[in-house]
Amino acid sequence: MRAYMIRRLLALLPTLFFASVIVFATVRMIPGDIIDLMISQNDISAGKTDRAQLERVLGLDQPIYIQYFRWVGGIVLRGDFGSSLWQEQSVIAEIGARLPTTFQLGFMALFVALVVAVPIGVWSAIRQDTWGDYLGRSFSILMLAVPGFWMGTMVMVFPSIWWGISPAVKFVPFFEDPVANMLQLAIPAVILGTSLSAITMRMTRTMMLEVLRQDYIRTAWAKGMNERTMVVRHALRNALIPVVTLIGLQAPILIGGTVIMEQIFVIPGMGLMLLEAVSRRDYPVITGVFLIVGVAVVLINLIVDLSYGLLDPKVRYR
Amino acid sequence: MSAVLQQPAEVLAPTRGRVANFFIRLFREKPLGAAGLVIFVLFLLCGAFADLLAPYGMNQISMSNRLKPPSARFWLGTDHLGRDMLSRMLYGAQLSVIIAFAAATLATVISVVVGIVTGYLGGRVDMTTQRLVDAWMSFPELIILIVVVSVLGPGMVQVIFVLGLTFGIGGSRIVRGAVVSVRENMYVHAAQSMGAGTPRILLQHILPNILPPVIVLFTTRVGAVILVESGLSFLGFGVPPPAPTWGGMLSGSGRTYMYLAPWLALMPGLAITIVVYAINILGDALRDLLDPRMRGSR
């Protein structure tokens, strides 16, 4: 297990390296005239409006590879992502303040997704080709097609028109009032979760069908075991392992979804931070959020891979 | 020659007959998928003939008809500038068709090129490329798009390019997987032993045999592009207004006037849902008919 973990961690290095190159290259595509634009629009706080100074702040006065190593070096050695062009605050501090909210929303959505997906997926599999199965599968394909931002907007509009209910606009931090906070995040989490549940449900169904054809399930039937015990104790436990991998694969979709939900429901997380930074052309913030999101996804996948060993005793790491 | 010998007789039948047969099978065995195909074709026709179908211009303003609910004159109502929603929806379909097809085509080409080359060559090229693909796939499409648009500025070309690139790199995994399973077939070894060059093997032997997953990939990409593009437009990073994108209509007048005129927000979302749903069920049916191995996966 330890050898596997070390190997898995080493394999992470090239991925993280490429991720940093992607982030760096994307944001460095800033055409020169954007700087002129920033100056002319007076986008930047006073005192930095000089062109040479601005280039220095953005680090554009150095050769490209030095810029890269400086930037990566700062992050790896000092955890320094630079500071916002607007507020005199370090990017990492701002991300640290925003990240927990996005994580909370993400976890709540994931919870909803599993609570919806697993029972429907199991039901679809054990009642294959019945009306319940068709209904469950149609629901899951439909959920894949509904845009989250539209559902979010509808949830805000119709209750308000019909019953005069509208969601609170002011965000309540978790530590101020946990109950109000959870209630506030519940609606976006449910919307995000149901759309995520579609893929998980299909996967659960497929894996359950596969497991239900195994010999040991037939043996369990032959012993006269009741269906509930068999499904829960024998089939589900084996079927759920690949579903866990799916959670890792869905992490990017989940984070992408939180951006939209944060925008609609005005939740001050990383997504809203990115959108605000983009509207102000605050490149150090954009770069920081972009990189953190990528690294978070890589780490989530690492955790998922490692948890495999705990869930499935068959997997003895080579 | 060897490839021809290896293929089942059915493949040798004239192409037109095969395509017709395929559609007959689709309608007979997969009624839901066929329904998806019909809706999808209707969507394409709406996009293609938006100029003829739209009763009004897409930006034809009529201040005396602001925020009118759906009626005989304005089937889907009007927005805050008195623009006819039906016309804007049709022109929106046109934009969606253009963006979806351009981006899905670009994505499929990238997937096929990257997937075939890395899958067939293997070795160090494959290793390095796969790590790059890993890294790329760690970024949510929406976030890559937001960042790139923040750098390049909004516009249709940027949206198509980035969507194509993002989905293309992600899809290369699927193509690569198909290539890896095909490349060990006897006809490939036969071609190699006969001295066929790599480009010839890739084009003549590998490519035709991975077409089924590629067709499915393309179909599902069209739906995915429509969905992500609408999200991007909703956030204000898509094709800029007054272009009538479905996502943009939902976020602009749709959200400002959503309590006064809920149809403004209702219609575009409904259109997106119906079209993407149709494409998804069509994609599922195609997957079942063309590529049984991929059944149930996504």
The answer to whether B295 touches B238, Cβ cutoff 8 Å, is no
Helix B141-152 / helix A2-27 crossing angle, nearest 10 deg: 30
The answer to whether A105 touches A185, Cβ cutoff 8 Å, is yes
* B272 contact residues in A (CB cutoff 8 A): 145, 147, 150
For the segment B189-196, the average pLDDT, to the nearest whole number, is 84
List residues bridging with A102 in a β-sheet: none
Residue B5 pLDDT greater than 60, yes or no:
no
For the segment A251-274, the average pLDDT, to the nearest whole number, is 87
Lowest mean pLDDT among A104-108, B102-106, B202-206: B202-206
ipTM field: 0.79
HEC string of A23-37? HHHHHCCCCHHHHHH
The answer to whether B70 touches B59, Cβ cutoff 8 Å, is no
Burial class (CB in 10 A: 0-12, 13-18, 19+), B177: middle
CA gap A57, A67 in Å, rounded: 12
Residue B242 pLDDT greater than 60, yes or no:
yes
Of A16, A206, A259, nearest to B296 by CB-CB distance is A206
**Cβ within 8 Å, pair A26-B148:** yes
At B91, the pLDDT band (50, 70, 90 cuts) reads confident
The mean of the pLDDT values for chain A is 79
* A150 contact residues in B (CB cutoff 8 A): 250, 265, 268-269, 272-273
Residue of B nearest to A263 (CA): B235
Q: Would you list the domain boundaries of chain B? A: 30-53+78-293
In Å, how far are B43, B65, B144 from B50, measured between CA atoms?
10, 22, 31
Q: How far is A208 from chain B (nearest CA, A)?
A: 12
At A146-204, the pLDDT tens digits run 888 888 888 877 777 677 666 666 777 777 777 878 888 888 899 999 888 888 888 88
**Cβ within 8 Å, pair A18-B151:** no
Lowest mean pLDDT among A231-245, B117-131, B209-223: A231-245
Check residue B291 and give its pLDDT. Answer: 62
Check residue A241 and give its pLDDT. Answer: 79
Check residue B9 and give its pLDDT. Answer: 45
* B131 contact residues in A (CB cutoff 8 A): 14-15, 18
At B14, the pLDDT band (50, 70, 90 cuts) reads low
Q: B162: phi > 0 → left, psi -120 to 50 → alpha, else beta; which?
A: alpha
Residue B77 pLDDT greater than 50, yes or no:
yes
At B109, the pLDDT band (50, 70, 90 cuts) reads very high
Closest C-alpha among A316, A308, A191 to residue A240: A308
Percent of chain A with pLDDT strictly greater than 70: 84
The answer to whether B236 touches A151, Cβ cutoff 8 Å, is no
Residue of A nearest to B260 (CA): A161
The answer to whether B67 touches B103, Cβ cutoff 8 Å, is no
Check residue A39 and give its pLDDT. Answer: 64
Instruction: Select, from the ranges A69-83, A131-145, B251-265, the one with the highest average predicted confidence (pLDDT).
Output: A131-145
| CA atoms in the 13 A half-sphere facing the CB of A252 | 20
Check residue A90 and give its pLDDT. Answer: 82
3-class SS at B192?
A: helix
Residue B254 pLDDT greater than 70, yes or no:
no
Residue B191 pLDDT greater than 60, yes or no:
yes
Q: How far is A163 from chain B (nearest CA, A)?
A: 12
Check residue B114 and give its pLDDT. Answer: 92
For the segment B20-45, the average pLDDT, to the nearest whole number, is 83
Q: How far is B133 from chain A (nearest CA, A)?
A: 8
At A204-255, the pLDDT tens digits run 888 888 888 888 888 888 888 888 888 877 788 778 877 887 877 788 888 8
Residue A299 pLDDT greater than 80, yes or no:
yes
* B262 contact residues in A (CB cutoff 8 A): 157-158, 161
The answer to whether B102 touches B160, Cβ cutoff 8 Å, is yes
For residues A177 and B225, which has the higher predicted lDDT (pLDDT)? B225
CA gap B147, A96 in Å, rounded: 20
Of A142, A253, A290, nearest to B147 by CB-CB distance is A290
Query: What pTM value is reported for the model?
Result: 0.81
For the segment A299-312, the average pLDDT, to the nearest whole number, is 78
For residues B14 and B221, which has the higher predicted lDDT (pLDDT)? B221
Four-way CATH pick for B30-53+78-293: 3.50.50.60, 3.30.565.10, 3.40.50.1820, 1.10.3720.10: 1.10.3720.10
**Cβ within 8 Å, pair A259-B140:** yes
For the segment A102-109, the average pLDDT, to the nearest whole number, is 91
**Cβ within 8 Å, pair B141-A158:** no
Check residue B4 and give its pLDDT. Answer: 46
The mean of the pLDDT values for chain B is 80
At B106, the pLDDT band (50, 70, 90 cuts) reads very high
Check residue A34 and give its pLDDT. Answer: 56
